[in-house]
Structure 1
Amino acid sequence: MRAVIYEEFGQLPEVREVPDPAPSRLGAVIGVEATGLCRSDWHGWQGHDPDIRPPHVPGHELAGIVAAVGDRVTRWRPGDRVTVPFICACGTCAACARGAQQVCERQTQPGFTHWGSFAEYVLIEHADVNLVGIPESLPFGTAASLGCRFATAFRAVVTQGRVAPGEWVAVHGCGGVGLSAVMVAAAAGARVVAVDIAAPALDLAGTLGAEVCLDGSTGDTASSIVDLTGGGAHLSLDALGSPATAAASVNCLRRHGRHLQVGLLPVDPPLPMARVIAYELTILGSHGMPAHAYPPMLDLVTSGVLRPDLLVTRTIGLDAAPEALVAMGSAPGSGVTIIEPCSSARECWP
Structure 2
Amino acid sequence: MRAVVVEEYGVVPVVRDVPEPSPAAGAVVLKVEATGLCRSDWHGWMGHDADIVLPHVPGHELAGTIAAVGAGVTGWQVGDRVTTPFICACGSCEQCLEGNQQVCLRQEQPGFTYWGSFAEYVAVPYAQVNLVRLPDELDFATAAGLGCRFATAFRAIRQVGQVTAGESVAIFGCGGVGLSAVMIAADLGARVIAVDTNPSALKLARSYGATETLWASPDTVQEIRDLTAGGAHVTMDALGSNDIVQQALQSLRPRGRHLQVGLLPSGVQLDVSRLIGQELQWLGSHGMPAHAYPEMLQLVAQGNLKPADLITRTITLDETPAALAALSNGTTPGVTIIKP
Output the TM-score relative to the length of structure 1.
0.96
Letter in 2 for 1:306: L
Q: Which residue of 2 aligns with 1:261?
A: 260
CA contact (8 A) 1:150 1:180 kept: yes
How far, CA to CA, are the matches of 1:137 and 1:195 in structure 2? 33
Secondary structure of the corresponding residue to residue 329 of structure 2: coil
Q: Which residue of 2 aligns with 1:222?
A: 221
Q: Which residue of 2 aligns with 1:45?
A: 45
How far, CA to CA, are the matches of 1:213 and 1:179 in structure 2? 12
Pairing of 1:128-139 with structure 2 (within 5 A): 128-139=128-139
1:233 and 2:204 matched? no
CA displacement 1:107-137 (0-9 Å, x = unmatched): 0000000000000000110001001011110
Question: 1:222 offset after TM fit, Å?
Answer: 1.6
Unaligned runs of 5+ in 2: none
How far, CA to CA, are the matches of 1:282 and 1:12 in structure 2? 39
CA displacement 1:169-211 (0-9 Å, x = unmatched): 0100000000000000000000000000111000000000000
CA displacement 1:81-107 (0-9 Å, x = unmatched): 111100110000000000000000000
CA contact (8 A) 1:35 1:339 kept: yes
Question: 1:75 offset after TM fit, Å?
Answer: 2.3
CA displacement 1:287-318 (0-9 Å, x = unmatched): 00000000000000111110000100000010
Unaligned runs of 5+ in 1: 342-350
Secondary structure of the corresponding residue to residue 318 of structure 2: helix
Question: 1:11 offset after TM fit, Å?
Answer: 1.4
Question: 1:220 offset after TM fit, Å?
Answer: 2.4
Q: Which residue of 2 aligns with 1:60?
A: 60
How far, CA to CA, are the matches of 1:287 and 1:6 in structure 2? 25
Q: Which residue of 2 aligns with 1:311?
A: 310
CA contact (8 A) 1:32 1:65 kept: yes
Letter in 1 for 2:328: G
How far, CA to CA, are the matches of 1:240 and 1:140 in structure 2? 25
Letter in 1 for 2:301: T
- Structural RMSD (CA): 0.7
Pairing of 1:336-347 with structure 2 (within 5 A): 336-341=335-340
Q: Which residue of 1 aligns with 2:28?
A: 28
How far, CA to CA, are the matches of 1:329 and 1:21 in structure 2? 30
Q: Which residue of 2 aligns with 1:278?
A: 277
CA displacement 1:249-304 (0-9 Å, x = unmatched): 11100011001101111122002222212211111000000000000000001111
Q: Which residue of 1 aligns with 2:180?
A: 180
Q: Which residue of 2 aligns with 1:325?
A: 324
Letter in 2 for 1:241: G
Letter in 1 for 2:243: A
Select between 9-18 and 267-276 the one with higher mean Cα deviation.
Answer: 267-276
How many aligned residue pairs are there?
340
Secondary structure of the corresponding residue to residue 328 of structure 1: helix
Segments of 4+ moved more than 4 angstroms: none
Output the TM-score relative to the length of structure 2.
0.99
Identity of aligned residues (%): 61
